[in-house]
Chain A
């Protein structure tokens, strides 16, 4: 009986709205051999396939599974490192799934280095009922972390907005899904547009802009309870929320005097502090990882360009960061604070670009025509963004190492992705 229930659960998951497609991997991946996990075959297969997809999506791994390895290697107790090296394998993964009572699954795994010829990691993960996917993501992240030295993001989540039709009326939904697009849940369903979702640093609250009152307004919503409130109660249009890294402040764009200006809202006492004061558009604020600077888009030079304000210096002139191209907007800092990722118009096409602070040029990362809303993974290695393909919006991803993937929706349109912080 339990088995049947479990199968049903898997089926439900596969029915998710977003479908992951890996379109390109980087040219120099780590080669890892993943042996089938010992334990119940059904769960073992599922976990192995999730890990495989997770690692491939990072673009930094190519996976050899059991059927591509020699049979004798699979069943050997002692690893024959030399054989693995002949196959070009850099790392070997072996694991055991302990699922004697199906509500409590525990995965233990070991990673071996074929050059150093020794075990480099031994880990154990305790699952919780009906969260097999999460369990597998934890394994993927452990592998990624051990080999690359960067934290993995398979166990993180994503927010995005979907637009579909219910009869003749448009339905907008703010969705929450795992980083691979699976396990999605609706956070907000509305018949008005929703834009600019963003996460609080502890990933417990979200802020977004909803047009449900007929006017753009920023709402803060708790994911667990669903309780929501308007961030600033007044009669003006408000948009572009971004939480500060310490979670105490929310930067916003207020249209109080008709024009878009950036303000900082203290979330404890609801005090508003004005940050910009210029007759042109100032919007799309985002915080530096240390919370000391704010990056924003401004039209003060005649075209949208990116500027930075140092919050520690009183009344300083915003520093212009972009000089190439006549449209640079919607920027965010890399978590390492080495540079920024933003939308750039180049020869009439909108692409996602990266600019390091120590370089005076920007590097385009994407190549379709209408790319927008870039959101960076917490480890800084993956950028998810929205594209248009045959008039339909869908999500795509690119890693700094050059791998690419797409997350098209099986129905309707998806856009405005926003990556959570680390959840494990």
Chain B
């Protein structure tokens, strides 16, 4: 009896230690965040996956810049990408040859899309960026070099349920124009084509950077 109790306690400890070891090995405690540079062209609007930003939103620290490594970023020269008329990503293809820079950009992206399954996320990110960009009107008479970050909550049907300013540009009219653009978009129709897992892992909360320079 005595032996049995000791044996049970030992088993429990053993189990806990082994379980944590196994969990560690499979990556449950994985915390390293690596930047995934997608394209090296200049940013116009970039989409950042919120879940990888290890910043408490309660502290809106502008002083402490967000470390670049902690984001999944997708960069595009969005002002040069033609607005797709439908939500099918294939619609990008006819416009490829317009600008050399652009075609290079898109072919890089196509490789991405063809390569792996994970690039579905990039596909949707691009569509989000594109939709918001076509809704965005940069205010008149505003100085150059302004950048702001918005935090957006989207429900699984693609409806934007909350927009908040995460990092102000310092110019209220610029910030307002960005918020206005996101609110005007209201719903991303293509969310219906997204599987639930993808939505949960990537698109429930996103961060958008507005950088028109």
Contact = CB atoms under 8 A, between A and B. Distances in A.
Contacts of B163: 115
A365 interface: yes
Contacts of A336: 171
Contacts of A90: 180, 183
Contacts of A26: 140
Interface string B41-53: 0000000000000
Nearest to A363: B141
A257 interface: no
B144 interface: yes
Interface string A349-382: 0000010101100010100000000000000010
B186 interface: yes
A336 B168 CA distance: 15
Nearest to A365: B141
Interface string B158-202: 001111000000011101110010010010000000000000000
A400 B141 CA distance: 6
A358 B173 contact: no
A28 interface: yes
B176 A149 contact: yes
Contact of A30 (B139, B141, B142, B180): B180
A338 B183 contact: no
A115 B183 contact: yes
B140 A116 contact: no
Contact of B143 (A30, A85, A115, A339): A339
B141 A402 contact: yes
Interface string A138-154: 00000000001110000
A290 interface: no
B173 A401 contact: yes
Given A115-B160, A149-B176, A358 B145 contact: yes
Interface in B121-174: 137, 139-145, 160-163, 171-173
The 5 closest A-B pairs by CB, nearest first: A356-B143, A28-B137, A402-B140, A400-B141, A115-B183
A401 B176 CA distance: 12
B177 to A, nearest CB: 7
Contact of B177 (A28, A85, A354, A359): A28
Given A85-B186, A400-B141, A148 B176 contact: yes
Contacts of A116: 161-162
A202 interface: no
A354 B186 CA distance: 35
B177 A115 contact: no
Nearest to B168: A149
Contacts of A400: 139-142, 173
Interface residues of B, number: 21
Interface of A: 26-28, 30, 85, 90, 115-116, 148-150, 336, 338-339, 354, 356, 358-359, 363, 365, 381, 400-402
Contacts of A358: 143-145
Contacts of B144: 358-359
Contacts, number: 49
A343 to B, nearest CB: 17
Contacts of A365: 141
Contacts of B183: 90, 115
21 contacts: A26-B140, A28-B137, A28-B139, A30-B180, A90-B183, A115-B186, A116-B161, A148-B173, A149-B172, A149-B175, A150-B172, A339-B143, A358-B144, A358-B145, A359-B143, A400-B140, A400-B141, A401-B141, A401-B173, A402-B140, A402-B141
Contacts of A30: 180
Contact of A354 (B139, B141, B160): B141
Contacts of A115: 160, 163, 183, 186
B166 to A, nearest CB: 15
| Highest count of chain A CB atoms <10 Å: which of B137, B139, B141, B183 | B141
Nearest to A90: B183
A179 to B, nearest CB: 19
B162 A401 contact: no
Given A26-B140, A354-B141, A359-B143, 11 more contacts: A27-B137, A28-B177, A85-B186, A115-B186, A116-B161, A149-B172, A149-B176, A150-B172, A358-B143, A358-B145, A401-B140
Nearest to A359: B143
B180 A28 contact: yes
A301 B163 CA distance: 51
| Highest count of chain B CB atoms <10 Å: which of A30, A339, A356, A365 | A356
Contacts of B145: 358
| Highest count of chain A CB atoms <10 Å: which of B139, B140, B175 | B140
A213 to B, nearest CB: 42
A90 B145 CA distance: 28
A31 to B, nearest CB: 10
A129 B105 CA distance: 66
Nearest to A59: B140
A93 B175 CA distance: 23
Nearest to A354: B141
A26 B140 CA distance: 9
Contacts of B160: 115
Nearest to B162: A116
A108 to B, nearest CB: 26
| Highest count of chain A CB atoms <10 Å: which of B137, B139, B162, B163 | B139
